[in-house]
Amino acid sequence: MCGLLGLLTAGADAAYRIEPTARALRCQRHRGPDESGTWNDADVVFGFNRLSIIDVEHSHQPLQYADGRYTIAFNGEIYNYLELRAELTARHGATFATDGDTEAIVAAYHYWGPQAVRRLRGMFAFLIWDRQERVLFGARDPFGIKPLFMATGPAGVAFASEKKSLLSMAGALGMSGGVGGDLDAAALQHYLLLQYVPEPATLHRAVRRVESGTYFTVRPGGEVEHERYFFPTFDVRGSGTPAGPHGEAALHGRIADVLRDSVAKHMRADVTVGAFLSGGIDSTAIAALAKEHNPDLITFTTGFEREGYSEVDVAAESAAAIGVRHVVRTVKPDEMMEALPLIVWYLDDPVADPALVPLWFIAREARQHVKVVLSGEGADELFGGYTIYREPLSLAPFEKVPGALRPLLGKASRRLPEGMRGKDLLRRGALPLEERYYGNARIFRDGELAGLLRQYDPRRSYTDITAPHYADSVDWDPVARMQHVDLFTWLRGDILVKADKMTMANSLELRVPFLDPAVFEVASGLPLEQKISGRSDGSGTTKYALRRALEGIVPSHVLHRRKLGFPVPIRLWLRDEMYAWARGIIRDSQADHLVDLAAVQRMLDAHRTGPIDHSRRIWTLLVFLIWHGIFVERRIRPEVPEPAYPVRL
């Protein structure tokens, strides 16, 4: 787990860009504090910050292969690297100078070309420069676990693990006006709808993200050419439907087997591996399986001193049941307020998920004990775990209403008072799936931004983001379509961004065994009844097959527990402890040309005194205002600590 930076020049004068590259590299030193290195030839400058996990004494980067023909900078981990190295040696006579996974990637590219990315089982973003062919090849992992940003200017194209590194490289890219001044109005509007900026955009128009599941090639002075190599298809033909109880048992056995294999491979490291542990089934399953490989496993959880907003007690009970040492870190509102500007700096782009703040605190705590943690991200998207996936069952009666009458339901909903029970059910029942579902986070509706966002454009909509993914899944069942949308939006825009950014801010590597190609292959073939099972009113069991597969692995008190998520008590805190703090952020902001700050203040006051909960909307706006104060106004300057991690024994 590391941070990379690469610059491909348009005019073969890369040596003049070495110092700007080194400065930009320092912006992401937290991603790899163990060592840094740069390399260049006439066309390319590579920079690298290393967090040493595998082959600690060797595998220094940038790493060269084939007598210097190739140079690679690689962020991530390849969990099947031992198998790849053995195959490359047996089939092609490949030789290796190190014992790590980095050399396995570049050797695979040498012998198999771009198709090598399909063989990689892991999380990755990498750049490979082929000096002989004068072509830069790069790729990002199938699900988007590891980030990769890109900026293009007259002098060339640059890539980095963090956007802030590219923002500092305007001169090296020949951009006299700077990289950071042009804010993307469409991306801001989508952020306020979704609480994250959807790929491939960022809030800076000049910087884009390489999309998950794609690779690219570019030559000096040429255009970047992208190609998608991974398309997450859910099998809708019913081939995964088990025949009888024995068939169902075999299916659940395959799920348990593939998860056990994935966790085993994710445990490969030359340093200590721990695990995050909440009160839910996903992280508990990962911790229980990890314990099979490390009897001294340490688990970590975080929570709050508010009843109903913490899973600390359940997590502690789980840790005792599986027999692991457990560390707890509670977070107070004053700590959240103090840390938020620094957290937003680490984020690069605003993500208004309040859960990322306690995640930052527990990652900081975990880094005092271990260098790697396993976590349960991705299980809900793959196995059908979100409560909202039950909605197609609860809305099934509306499907019987003739199409011409459905709009009347929407009109009836609009006549009901705000907050009245059943109002939103009527509204959503009047809409087709493609219009009502655009992910787990729905902050503002399109029309609600008209009086808030100064540059609101009614032609923009969340459907700009989701329509292509619905078009790719027209024949699938509704839950599979929702999963597909979430894989391209919510998972890679929110879940994986906060997981990467908050752990790497603390020089901690996070691994996600559910997001493994072999696990996805099994999960993608599950029929609907193996994901959502139960009553037709939508109150049935989520992740049915996964829960059955984990019987005997996960403690019984967790196995069928209702999903709590990771609630943060901002609803209460913004009415009390955080009110004055939030008011100060609004008062001091210079973003009134983008957002009506008076309207934001009115929303905060209404939340404090009224019955309607505006907390998620307020939080989304506050995070943006802090982001604007850091990256645009330059008024807020968080004190970024030097990475230093004394290990507690």
Nearest to 342 by CA among 363, 314, 367: 363
**Residue 168 structure tokens:** 């500092």
Nearest to 161 by CA among 328, 4, 313: 4
Return d(Cα 302, Cα 506) in angstroms, integer: 16
Degrees, nearest 5: CA angle 392-494-79: 100
- Describe the strand order of the beta sheet including 149-153 as a list of residue ranges: 35-40, 44-50, 2-9, 156-160, 149-153, 207-209
Helix (H, G, I), strand (E, B) or coil at 192: helix
Give the torsion sign (CA, 225, 499, 279, 340).
Answer: negative
Return the number of other C-beta atoms located less than 10 Å from residue 144's C-beta. Answer: 27
DSSP string spanning 424-461? HHHHHHTS-HHHH-S-S---S-GGGGTTTBTT--TT--
Return d(Cα 636, Cα 339) in angstroms, integer: 13
27 is catalytic: no
Amino acid identity for residue 559 in this structure: L
Q: 554: part of which helix (H) or strand (E)?
A: none
- Phi, then psi, of 354 in degrees rounded to 5: -60, -25
Helix (H, G, I), strand (E, B) or coil at 617: helix
Q: 314: part of which helix (H) or strand (E)?
A: helix 312-322
Q: 2, 53, 356, 496: which one is catalytic? A: 2
Return d(Cα 21, Cα 37) in angstroms, integer: 11
- Phi, then psi, of 643 in degrees rounded to 5: -65, 125
**DSSP label at residue 474:** T
Return d(Cα 141, Cα 520) in angstroms, integer: 13
Contacts of 521 (CB under 8 A, 6+ apart): 258
Return d(Cα 531, Cα 529) in angstroms, integer: 5
Return d(Cα 285, Cα 269) in angstroms, integer: 20
Q: Measure CA of the first residue to CA of the last residue in the chain; give whole Å.
A: 23
DSSP string spanning 381-426? HHHT--GGGGHHHHTGGGGGS-TTTHHHHHHHHHHSPTT-TTHHHH
The Cα diameter of the chain in Å comes to 73
Q: How far is CA 410 from CA 267, 392, 458, 576, in A?
A: 51, 17, 20, 36
Q: Rg of the chain over CA atoms, in angstroms?
A: 24
48, HSE (Cβ side, Cα atoms, 13 Å)? 28
Question: Cα 579 from chain centroid?
Answer: 29
Q: Are 555 and 317 in contact (CB under 8 A)?
A: yes
Amino acid identity for residue 114 in this structure: P
Q: Which residues are catalytic?
A: 2
